[in-house]
């Protein structure tokens, strides 16, 4: 069994403080943490190779180093627990199984950045997780692990749980901050970045649940040990939410660089594919899909997946077999992104809906020749022209599903007997008049 850094307490009842402590929990709330200066701690996290586990994979130590220390404003820590990407469910399980590890991680991060107030922004639908977190916070406060003068160190931290209202876009950090402040969850123009001016116009660090939960292990075992678990560039382990046509879907933690097929087929992990593998979405619904052939070559780390022109994302692996229709899957995805576009930027607002309606037209047997190229053109046009990457998250599946499973889409269009009809039946252009 590989070393676990985040999920080692699963199934042990660690949501209770005493159990968590008996398993070595809150070990870092001691001189191990408080003897370190802020700079030493940030350096330690940098050396561990820990990268943001929310999707973008930004080096955590570097992110922390961007937060100014003497701005005269409070520094906020916001935990992004608005896990909304289709296929992702690891944060939900992590918070349910081991809430105290998150709190411990937050204290570590809080110490590094001089945070006095921290928020956990939890997706609105995660009601059980919110209840678990609140119960854990209550226990931690009662034990003097939160509030004023934590463990006699002189450091004080307050943590609040904030329940989101159910929008995928609130997983984008500036939309999350707007929502936290009570505004509509729409991404902000950048710069300024949250590290400089985030929540309440103050320096803000937004980190994913899993990122923070890795910190206690790193502090206990040292950054080099953590780095050594993964590949040279992608250190540590990663928690994957595996779903789809596998025999045992679930949440699995494996070292970075593990072959994708090992995750899917290992008897200790997913135990194999149901049916014959057709493709894998490796990092959440927005990440470019891999064909079965590509999936067999893929390793689960940032660089290896980038080389296959896809990404590790939030670690949501969706495997599907040959019985699944690519048209059906893409129709679901375009509907999701059209529904979740916040409506701020024109290309995303109008484009995702437009692409979705074309997709529905194709799926209902009314597609025409040229529709697929029209889709690809729209996807190219709404990529990289908006405030946040939601439009790209729609464009990648469109480009890759159509690109890699094109014969299926063409077969769908071919079902329409009128597929070759001209676009307009009546010539109603001004030229017809003068």
Q: Which is nearer to other proteins, 65 or 179 (CB)?
A: 179
Residue placing its CB nearer to other proteins in the complex, 48 or 386: 386
Contacting residue, 117, 227, 334, 344, with other proteins by CB under 8 A: 344
Which tokens in the block code for residue 305?
Answer: 């997946």
The nearest distance, CB 418 to other proteins, in angstroms, is: 10
CB of 433 to other proteins, least distance (A): 14
Q: Identify the H or E element spanning 142.
A: helix 127-142
What is the CA 185 to chain-centroid distance, rounded? 17
Residue 39 or residue 200: which is nearer to other proteins going by CB?
200
Binding test (CB under 8 A) with other proteins, winner from 39, 58, 160, 183: 183
User: How open is the CA angle 364-368-372, to the nearest 5 degrees?
Assistant: 90
Cα angle: 151, vertex 161, 89; to 5 degrees: 110
Pick between residue 296 and residue 374 the one whose CB is nearest to other proteins: 374
Nearest CB to other proteins, comparing residues 211 and 285: 285
Instruction: Rule CB under 8 A: say whether 181 interacts with other proteins.
Output: yes
Q: For other proteins, which is the closer residue by CB, 202 or 321?
A: 202
Range in contact with other proteins (rule: CB under 8 A) among 22-30, 82-90, 125-133, 348-356: 348-356
Question: Least distance in Å: CB of 337 to other proteins?
Answer: 9
Helix count and strand count (H, E) for the chain: 19, 11
* Minimal distance, residue 246 CB to other proteins, in Å: 32
> Is residue 423 part of the contact set for other proteins (CB under 8 A)?
yes
Cite the beta strand spans of 265-408 per DSSP E.
277-281, 290-291, 299-300, 316-321
d(CA 16, CA 97): 10
Strand, helix or coil for residue 184: coil
Burial 77-94 (b: 16+ CB within 10 A, else e): bbbbbbbbbbbbbbbbbb
**Is residue 285 a contact residue for other proteins (CB under 8 A)?**
no
Based on the shown chain and the rule CB under 8 A, indicate whether residue 432 belongs to the binding site for other proteins. no
Residue 263 CB contacts under 8 Å (≥ 6 apart), including other chains: 240, 242, 252, 254, 269, 270, 300, 317
Distance between CA 253 and CA 264 in Å, rounded? 12
Residue whose CB is less far from other proteins, 2 or 165: 165
Site string for other proteins, 360-399 (x = CB under 8 A): -x----x-x-----x------xx-xxxx------------
Which of 340, 394, 399, 412 forms a contact with other proteins (CB under 8 A)? 340
Binding of other proteins by 234 (CB under 8 A): no
User: Which of 221, 353, 404, 408 is the binder for other proteins (CB under 8 A)?
Assistant: 353
Strand partners, 255: 237
Scanning the structure block, which residue is given the tokens 């697929």? 372
Report the C-alpha dihedral over residues 404, 405, 409, 414, rounded to 10 degrees: 110
CA triplet 338, 344, 346: central angle to 5 degrees? 75
Instruction: Give the Å distances, CA to CA, from 141 to 26, 112, 122, 128, 144.
Output: 13, 20, 20, 20, 5
List binders of other proteins among 189-228 (CB under 8 A).
Answer: 189, 192, 197, 200-201
Point out which span in 11-19, 182-190, 275-283, 407-415 binds other proteins (CB under 8 A).
182-190
- Interacting span for other proteins (CB under 8 A) from 65-73, 305-313, 320-328, 350-358: 350-358
Binding footprint of other proteins on the chain (CB under 8 A): 167, 169, 174, 178, 181, 183-184, 188-189, 192, 197, 200-201, 338-347, 349-354, 357-358, 361, 366, 368, 374, 381-382, 384-387, 423-424
């Amino acid at each position: 069994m590989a070393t676990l850094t985040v999920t080692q307490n699963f199934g042990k009842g660690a949501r209770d403080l005493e159990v968590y402590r008996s398993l070595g929990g809150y070990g870092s709330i001691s001189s191990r943490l408080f003897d370190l200066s802020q700079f030493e701690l940030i350096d330690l996290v940098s050396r561990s190779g820990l990268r943001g586990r929310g999707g973008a994979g930004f080096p955590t130590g570097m992110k922390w180093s961007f937060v100014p220390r003497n701005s005269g404003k409070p520094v906020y820590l916001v935990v992004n627990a608005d896990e909304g990407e289709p296929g992702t469910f690891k944060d939900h399980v992590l918070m349910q199984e081991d809430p105290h590890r998150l709190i411990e991680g937050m204290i570590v991060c809080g110490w590094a950045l001089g945070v006095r107030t921290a928020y956990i922004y939890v997706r609105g639908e995660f009601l059980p997780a919110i209840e678990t977190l609140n119960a854990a916070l209550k226990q931690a406060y009662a034990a003097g692990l939160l509030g004023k003068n934590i463990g006699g160190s002189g450091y004080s931290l307050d943590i609040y749980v904030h329940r989101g209202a159910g929008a995928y876009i609130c997983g984008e950090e500036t939309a999350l901050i707007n929502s936290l402040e009570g505004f509509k969850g729409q991404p902000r123009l950048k710069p300024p970045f949250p590290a400089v001016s985030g929540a309440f116009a103050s320096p803000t660090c937004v980190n994913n649940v899993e990122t923070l939960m890795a910190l206690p292990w790193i502090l206990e075992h040292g950054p080099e040990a953590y780095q050594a678990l993964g590949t040279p560039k992608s250190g540590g382990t990663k928690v994957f939410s595996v779903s789809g046509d596998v025999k045992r879907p679930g949440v699995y933690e494996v070292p970075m660089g593990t072959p994708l097929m090992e995750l899917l087929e290992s008897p200790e992990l997913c135990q194999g594919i149901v049916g014959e593998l057709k493709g894998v979405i490796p990092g959440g619904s927005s990440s470019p899909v891999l064909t079965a052939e590509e999936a067999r070559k893929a390793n689960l780390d940032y660089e290896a997946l980038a080389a296959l022109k896809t990404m590790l994302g939030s670690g949501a692996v969706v495997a599907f077999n040959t019985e699944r229709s690519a048209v059906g899957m893409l129709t679901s995805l375009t509907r999701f992104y059209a529904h979740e576009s916040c409506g701020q930027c024109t290309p995303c607002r109008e484009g995702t809906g437009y692409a979705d309606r074309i997709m529905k037209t194709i799926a209902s047997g009314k597609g025409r020749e040229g529709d697929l190229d029209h889709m690809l053109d729209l996807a190219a046009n709404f990529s990289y022209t908006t405030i946040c990457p939601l439009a790209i998250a729609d464009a990648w599946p469109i480009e890759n599903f159509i690109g890699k499973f094109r014969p299926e889409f063409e077969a769908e269009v071919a079902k329409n007997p009128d597929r070759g009809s001209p676009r307009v039946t009546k010539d109603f252009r001004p030229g017809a008049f003068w």
